[in-house]
Amino acid sequence: MKQKRTPSLVMACVSAALICATSFAADDLPEGFNRKPTSRFVVSDNPYYKDPQIALKNGVAAYQKNHQTNRFCVVGYQWQTGSMNVWVLWKEEEELLLWDGALDPDSRAKSLIGVRRDLKLGRDTVKTENDINGSTYLVTEQWWHAVADDCLKHGEKYVIGPFKAKAAKPTADQSANP
């Protein structure tokens, strides 16, 4: 006697869920970029951002925030073209920093000092798209929170405890002119 096989309802639902989850995996990426990223990447695995805690600690020292605990989150986004962005959320400062990184270890260690974009909640954010009014640096509060929340959900977290910053070495000009 030949047994007839029919797919169970449970298997059909599981299959449909897997197809939807893989087909729309990018749907949970934040909105508001000119073009929506296609994926995230692990920032610390990329040679431009290796050992993020070094650059984070140097940034904390440069901004003279080393007397307190500082919490960070880093998240990397990639587009279909291969271009990438790394955003750093500095929780205590309520800032999103666009981090370029660097291949050279010394440059990478200083690469969070003087970033090209730093978006402070309240200073660089507005309520609506209309409030941007052609600005090239303002973003909506909704976009800022979307990236920050996405980072907290999917990004790498770092805590830099209080530390004593090393005194800056004097430059040749400072040594010659006391």
Per-residue pLDDT tens for 101-134?
A: 999 999 999 999 989 999 999 999 999 999 999 9
Q: Is residue 34 part of a domain?
A: yes
Which run of H or of E encompasses 11? helix 9-23
Give the separation between CA 80 and CA 132, rounded to whole angstroms: 27
The residue ranges of the chain whose pLDDT is under 50 are 5-7, 9-25, 173-175
- Asked whether 133 and 141 are in contact (CB, 8 A), the reply is no
pLDDT value for 171: 52
How many domains does the structure of the chain reveal? Answer: 1
Please report whether residue 21 resides in a domain: no
pLDDT value of residue 15: 39
In a domain, 175, yes or no: no
- pTM of the model as a whole: 0.78
pLDDT computed for residue 21 by the predictor = 34
Owning domain of residue 137: 29-157
| 18 falls within a domain | no
Q: For the purposes of burial, counting CB atoms within 10 Å of the CB of 75, is it exposed (0-12), middle (13-18) or buried (19 or more)?
A: buried
What's residue 13's pLDDT? 37
pLDDT at position 30 is 85
| Residue-level pLDDT at 32 | 76
- Residues 76 and 42: beta-carbon distance below 8 Å: yes
pLDDT for 151 equals: 97
* 169: Cα within 13 Å, side-chain hemisphere: 2
Q: Is residue 77 part of a domain?
A: yes
